[in-house]
Every structure is written in C-alpha cells, then in structure tokens.
C-alpha cells in the first residue's frame, strides 16, 4: 500500500497547480449533494461532513458548498445522481476499485471500459476485486513535524489504530468511524496532513520496480481519476518511494 499512499501525497501536492479546478469543484459538489440527501447538518451527517472537509481542502468557495447542500435537499429539483462501485484490473493486473457518482450507469460503465481496455486492462463485475481491499481512514504527516512517540500517543488517544513510518512521512491508520476525530486531533496540533482520506487499502499488492511499467500504471490511474464520475479510486500497486518521487517530479 505504501506506493499508492505516497502517490496520493504526490497528487495532493501537485494538484493545485496541475488540475482543472472546475472539474475538482464539480466532483466535490456532486459528493456533497448526494451526502446531503441523508441530512443537511454536517454535525449529524458524517458523510456530508467528510465531503465538505474534502471540498474545503481544495479551497472550494463557501457559497458553492452551500449551493451543493441545497441541491441535495431538493431546492433545485430532484437529484439524479446515484452511487456505485466499479471494479477491474489495470495494466500489470493491478486491481482497481472506484467510487462512482453518476446519472447514467450504462454511460459511465461504457466510458470506463474503454479507458481500461485502451490501457491494457479490463473492467470487471461486482465483487471481482473489491474483496482485496479493506476500508480505512488514512492520513500522512511529515516525519520532521513531530516525534514518533508523541504522534503515536496523539493518534491512539484520539481513537486511531496505527502509525507507520513511510519514507519521510508518518502514515496514520484509523477506522472509518474514528477518522474525523483523529484528523481533528492532528490539526489541533498544527500538523497539516498531506493525505487525509477514507479509502480502500489493498490486502495484497503488485510490486512494480521498472520505470516504464510504473509510468504505464500511473498514467492509467491518472486517466481514470480524471473521469467526471470517479469520486475516488484505490489500487493495489506498490511502487518504491524513490521511483514514485522520480516519476512525480
């Protein structure tokens, strides 16, 4: 998992300069609207709070967030988006699971299938790879920002599960339920996480050490993530940190 986690960190640091902000905001707005169907108060709707936190991390304006909440509440007509989980194998038989928000499952499946096949992979059916993943909260903070013992104490007191040193960062693992509390505790210590997400972590990984193969996998992952209906993605590739940094520079 370390490789994919570090790739998430690289994406986060590069994202503000490289990504199309409008597309990012559109994805956040969909997630907020769908979550708001279960209640419009973040304090009593963990899914909405998480969606809003992700949007704020990408500097989404407050009025756009509020409009998305109102849309989910039905103030602008019926919300047509539905949630789905798509699965498949990418290049090098890398397993991929994608959280989808779509207004047309058939269209989304067709478009993603073309991306997978073009890149040498295949979109699979329900349950084809999801069993290889477990859902956890994952945060990363710079190793230089806090002593390991102090971080472990902070994380465990807040309900977190584990802390691992991964290169120059600490990877913090939590249950889904404890994620918000651990993130709050970290931020109250003035620590800024490079990664802060609830995501699926693989139980087994595909090790990739050749630059050409790694680049092929990362290009595939980037193209899938660019799709408008893909809200989040997890994959089980394991690329050495040094190679990831080289490819991400």
Percent of the residues in the chain that have a pLDDT greater than 70, as a whole number: 89
Q: Do the bridges between strand 95-102 and strand 82-89 make them parallel or antiparallel, or are there none, so unpaired?
A: antiparallel
Arithmetic mean of pLDDT over the chain: 85
Which CATH class, in words, describes the domain spanning 82-126+204-248? Answer: alpha beta
Per-residue pLDDT band at 125 (split at 50, 70, 90) = very high
**How far is Cα 57 from Cα 186, in angstroms, rounded to an integer?**
15
Q: Residues 90, 94, 100, 103: what is their CA dihedral angle, to the nearest 10 degrees?
A: 20
Report the pLDDT value the prediction gives residue 249, as an integer from 0 to 100.
Answer: 53
Range from 2-11, 97-106, 196-205, 240-249 carrying the lowest mean pLDDT: 2-11
Using pLDDT thresholds of 50, 70 and 90, give the confidence band for residue 124: very high
Q: Which CATH number fits domain 132-202: 3.30.70.980, 3.30.1130.10, 2.60.40.10, 3.10.20.90?
A: 3.30.70.980
Per the model's pLDDT, the better-predicted residue between 12 and 134 turns out to be 134
* Residue 24 contacts residue 68 (beta carbons within 8 Å): no
Sign of CA dihedral 8, 106, 95, 135: positive
Lowest mean pLDDT, pick from 17-26, 97-106, 162-171, 177-186? 17-26
CATH tag, 2-72: 1.10.10.200
pLDDT at 81: 81
| Dist CA 236 CA 199 (whole Å) | 12
- The boundaries of every CATH 3.30.70.980 domain in the chain are 82-126+204-248, 132-202
> Which residues are paired to 130 by β-bridges?
none
Higher per-residue pLDDT: 44 or 77: 44
Query: What integer is the mean pLDDT of 169-187?
Result: 91
| Cα distance between residue 90 and residue 206, in whole Å | 11
pLDDT of 90 > 70? The answer is yes
């Amino acid at each position: 998992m370390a490789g994919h986690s570090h790739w998430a960190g690289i994406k986060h640091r590069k994202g503000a300069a490289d990504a199309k902000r409008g597309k990012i905001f559109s994805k956040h707005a969909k997630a907020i609207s769908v979550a708001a169907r279960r209640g419009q108060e973040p304090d009593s709707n963990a899914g909405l709070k998480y969606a809003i936190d992700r949007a704020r991390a990408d500097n989404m304006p407050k009025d756009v967030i509020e409009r998305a909440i109102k849309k989910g509440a039905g103030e602008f007509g019926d919300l047509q988006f539905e949630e789905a989980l798509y699965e498949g194998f990418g290049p090098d038989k890398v397993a991929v699971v994608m959280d989808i928000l779509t207004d047309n499952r058939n269209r989304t499946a067709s478009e993603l299938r073309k991306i997978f096949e073009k890149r040498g992979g295949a979109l699979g059916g329900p349950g084809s790879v999801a069993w290889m993943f477990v859902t956890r909260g994952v945060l990363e903070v710079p190793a230089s920002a806090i002593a390991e013992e102090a971080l472990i104490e902070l994380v465990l007191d807040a309900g977190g599960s584990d802390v691992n040193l991964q290169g120059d960062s600490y990877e913090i693992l939590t249950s889904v339920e404890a994620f918000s509390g651990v993130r709050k505790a970290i931020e109250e210590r003035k620590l800024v996480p490079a990664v802060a997400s609830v995501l699926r972590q693989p139980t087994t990984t595909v090790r990739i050490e050749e630059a050409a193969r790694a680049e092929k996998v990362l290009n595939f992952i980037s193209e899938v993530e660019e799709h408008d209906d893909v809200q989040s993605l997890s994959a089980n590739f394991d690329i050495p940190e040094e190679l990831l940094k080289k490819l991400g520079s």
